Amino acid sequence: MEFSEWEPVYEAILADFGFDRVADERARDVAATYATPVDFSVLAEAVGVAGGKTVAIVGAAPSLSAELDTFDPESVDAVFAASTAADTLLGADLPVDCLVTDLDKNPETAARLTREETLVAAHAHGDNVEMVRRFLPEFDPSSTLVTTQAEPVDAVYNLGGFTDGDRAAFLADALGAGELRFLGWEFDDTSVGPVKAKKLRWAERLLFWLEQRRNERFGVLDGRRSGIEQIPV
């Protein structure tokens, strides 16, 4: 995705949450000191997405553990986990091909996975500069993709998306995934606070936008589309 396509969405997110664009750019620039360029065709092969493969986008909702009882990892070609979903999967002896994280909950898991040659998409934003400084030096750069929600620079990429979960879907799309399947998602999770609830609404809106861009129907949005506010682009 070109930043010119993403920028109007980004500006709407900034306005809705009162986030500081300058702070995002500062975090991006700090992250750039630890980032290395990525060959996306090589990356797609490494994570098993190349050639239009099926990718599971696994969220960290409370329902995930129960959903794993019926999840067959052989039914997909790659598993992209958002945040602590990776720990849940690994704890159940299930594979993780990519972890997408902004380092707020499981940075130690992320660092370890890079050293085990598992891709980690590490996201820098205005509120996590100290986590970026502390943990990105511990990542193996050959298994690290550094991302931003601001304008990309150097080896810091913006592929679209806002929360860890929807960024995982946008990353899979950017790598050429053929089908996206979702588990561990609860847009109406009543256990979260108001800010997280607003983020979940944005995640829903962004996935709705992504499925339209891909001409695909995501099962996670079934029964919800009529109530989703369109992305302002």
Residue 123's pLDDT is what? 98
What's the pTM value of the predicted model, to 2 decimals?
A: 0.97
- Residue 110 sits in which domain range? 3-220
Q: Is 40 left (phi over 0), alpha (psi -120 to 50) or beta?
A: alpha
pLDDT average, residue stretch 114-119: 97
Bridge partners (DSSP) listed for residue 80: 57, 98
Over the stretch 37-56, which tens digit does the pLDDT of each residue have? Answer: 999 999 999 999 999 999 99
Decide if pLDDT at 233 tops 80: no
Cβ–Cβ under 8 Å, residues 31 and 24: no
Q: Which pair of tokens denotes residue 212?
A: 């339209």
| Long-range contacts formed by 71-78: CB under 8 A, 24+ apart | 71/183, 75/181, 76/181, 77/48, 77/49, 77/53, 78/47, 78/48, 78/49, 78/53, 78/54, 78/172, 78/177
Quote the CA–CA distance of 30 and 25 in Å, as a whole number: 9
Q: What is the mean pLDDT of the chain?
A: 96
The pLDDT assigned to 138 comes to 97
Query: Quick one: what percent of the chain has pLDDT higher than 70?
Result: 99
Cα distance between residue 102 and residue 31, in whole Å:
12
Question: What would the two tokens of residue 194 be?
Answer: 């108001």
Is it the case that residue 191 has pLDDT exceeding 70? yes
pLDDT exceeds cutoff 80 at 232? no
Predicted confidence at residue 189, as pLDDT, reads 93
Residue 231 is predicted with a pLDDT of 87
Nearest to 107 by CA among 66, 149, 144, 150: 144
Residues 130-143: tens digit of each pLDDT: 999 999 999 999 99
Number of domains in the chain: 1
- Tell whether 92 is covered by a domain: yes
The residues that bridge with 145 in the sheet, in sequence order, are 121
Q: What is the 3-state secondary structure (H, E, C) of 155-177?
A: CEECCCCCCHHHHHHHHHHHCCC
Q: Does residue 229 sit within a domain?
A: no
- 180: region left, alpha or beta (phi > 0 left; psi from -120 to 50 alpha): beta
Residues 83-112: tens digit of each pLDDT: 999 999 999 999 999 999 999 999 999 999
Angle at CA of residue 29, ends 124 and 83, nearest 5°: 10
Mean pLDDT, to the nearest integer, of 154-159? 96
- C-alpha dihedral sign at 188, 176, 81, 63: positive
Q: Is residue 232 part of a domain?
A: no
1-17: average pLDDT: 95
What burial class does residue 233 get, using C-beta atoms within 10 Å of its C-beta: 0-12 exposed, 13-18 middle, 19+ buried? exposed
State the pLDDT confidence band at 1, using cuts at 50, 70 and 90: confident
Residue 210 pLDDT more than 80? yes
